[in-house]
Amino acid sequence: MFEKRFKDKLLIQRQAGLYRNPPQIEKREGKYVFVNGRKILNFSSNDYLGLGTSRELAEKVAANFKRYGASSSSSRLVTGNYSVISQAEKAFAEYFGYSDALFFPSGYQANMGVVSALFGRDDTVIFDKHVHASTVKGMELSKAEFLGFKHNSMSHLKKRLESRSEKQLFVLTEGLFSMDGDFPDLGGIAGLKKTHGFLTLVDEAHSFGALGEKGRGIGRSIADVAVGTLGKSFGLFGAFALLPEGFKEYLFNFSSPLIYSTTLPEAHAASALDALEIVFRCDAERETLRKNSLLMKEALGADGFNTCGDAHIIAVEIGDEALAASVSRNLSERGVFAFPARFPTVPLGRAILRVGISALHAPDDIAIFVESLKGAYEKARSEIRQDLHHGN
């Protein structure tokens, strides 16, 4: 019975152009991945500073695991509250300018663990409709009332705030949106915060490390709570929540995903500190990333592509799901990879090619990408036309 249900649902997924089937990556070398023995230039990683393949970081991480062992063997609240972890969290809090920090095994778990615990049945949470799936999952688990506002629309946010003015309100947004690649309206949110006095959570998964002075992100002026991941610019894995006074104690007592899960090992905390120290030194990489991003945006625009994105994530607008998948496939055949983001990651009928830029890229790589995309786009369109002609 399950078999038939799965088969039917997968068939519908295929017919809608939404079928997901990740390519098998044989190995990675800096900005390249190897698929079926072919070397592919990768424009879909979140390795913004190039630390994901840094020899220096890999050696430090290996030394930490050798020294501390591979597992904490306990949840944080039983015998997993190691001094090394607390010290590393203190260093993260200081670096980013918050009272406290708390590590989580992933950004997904951090958003879920923080959002589900902070809000309850009597609260109203107002969120930008383009926040990450993990934040949405956290809201669902919290049982709070949650109201979306149109992506980056301050007039809609204001309306939402006014509709619930009698309540203690919370607003959730991102430092750099993971699919649109744009910034939140910091000035707009700051103004509304003054009038309505809400608390703000900013997910800086894509901005910490890569943007702001020394990688400190862009949302500090509006954020009461921030979430960062170590799996993107930091070249590691795991995540951290940055918190005001009193929140850490609260989460220790009420965050189910934190309480009932094995804590990351000491070696991870020591490695997070090493990654932070490297991120501090990465001014040159941040500058290269900024220049690469600008170059990509200009080159795509000059060739007539409609794009969205203010920094190192650029969304090339495609629209049709099957066309986006086909463009990505044709691009791979030309030795370049960019991920086709489709529903439910983005709204239905608004599929994009999500281009992730890295400090590892050179200007020539960007020229190769744009040239390949032109060819791939034309080929994909003609394939779709032929399919329609043959009634497929």
Ligand X SMILES: Cc1ncc(COP(=O)(O)O)c(C=O)c1O
- Chain contacts with ligand X (rule: CB under 6 A): 106-108, 111, 132, 134, 174, 178, 203, 205-206, 229, 231, 239
- For residues 72 and 178, which CB has a smaller minimum distance to ligand X in the complex? 178
Check: CB of residue 41 under 8 Å from CB of residue 336: yes
Cis? peptide before 347, omega within 30° of 0: no
- Whether 206 sits among the annotated catalytic residues: the reply is yes
Check: CB of residue 65 under 8 Å from CB of residue 211: no
For residue 322, the minimal CB distance to ligand X (Å) is 24
Crossing angle of helices 266-280 and 83-96, rounded to 10°: 30
Check: CB of residue 18 under 8 Å from CB of residue 10: no
Residue carrying the six token digits 């949405």: 136
Q: Give the Cα-Cα-Cα angle 353, 359, 135 (nearest 5 degrees).
A: 55
- For residues 72 and 111, which CB has a smaller minimum distance to ligand X in the complex? 111
Check: CB of residue 105 under 8 Å from CB of residue 238: yes
- For residues 53 and 335, which CB has a smaller minimum distance to ligand X in the complex? 53
For residue 229, the minimal CB distance to ligand X (Å) is 3
- Whether 39 sits among the annotated catalytic residues: the reply is no
For residue 195, the minimal CB distance to ligand X (Å) is 27
For residue 238, the minimal CB distance to ligand X (Å) is 7
DSSP code, position 340: E
Catalytic annotation, pick one of 89, 203, 204, 274: 203
For residue 390, the minimal CB distance to ligand X (Å) is 38
Three-state SS for 170? strand
Catalytic annotation, pick one of 128, 174, 285, 321: 174
If you count them, how many residues does the chain have? 392
- For residues 171 and 380, which CB has a smaller minimum distance to ligand X in the complex? 171
Three-state SS for 66? helix
DSSP code, position 302: H
Catalytic annotation, pick one of 42, 45, 46, 332: 46
- For residues 106 and 372, which CB has a smaller minimum distance to ligand X in the complex? 106
- For residues 176 and 380, which CB has a smaller minimum distance to ligand X in the complex? 176
- For residues 203 and 321, which CB has a smaller minimum distance to ligand X in the complex? 203
Stretch (H or E) spanning 237: none
DSSP code, position 262: B
For residue 171, the minimal CB distance to ligand X (Å) is 16
Q: Which residue is nearest to ligand X (CB)?
A: 107
For residue 209, the minimal CB distance to ligand X (Å) is 12
Cα torsion 302, 305, 311, 314: sign: negative
Check: CB of residue 95 under 8 Å from CB of residue 276: yes
| Closest C-alpha to 51, from 323, 303, 360 | 360
Alpha-carbon dihedral angle through residues 176, 180, 183, 186, given to the nearest 10 degrees: -110
- Whether 151 sits among the annotated catalytic residues: the reply is no
- Whether 232 sits among the annotated catalytic residues: the reply is yes
Strand-pair partners of 356: 313
Amino acid (one-letter) located at 10: L
Catalytic annotation, pick one of 31, 60, 130, 132: 132
Between CA 327 and CA 316 the distance in angstroms is: 11
- Whether 163 sits among the annotated catalytic residues: the reply is no
Active site residues: 46, 132, 174, 178, 203, 206, 232
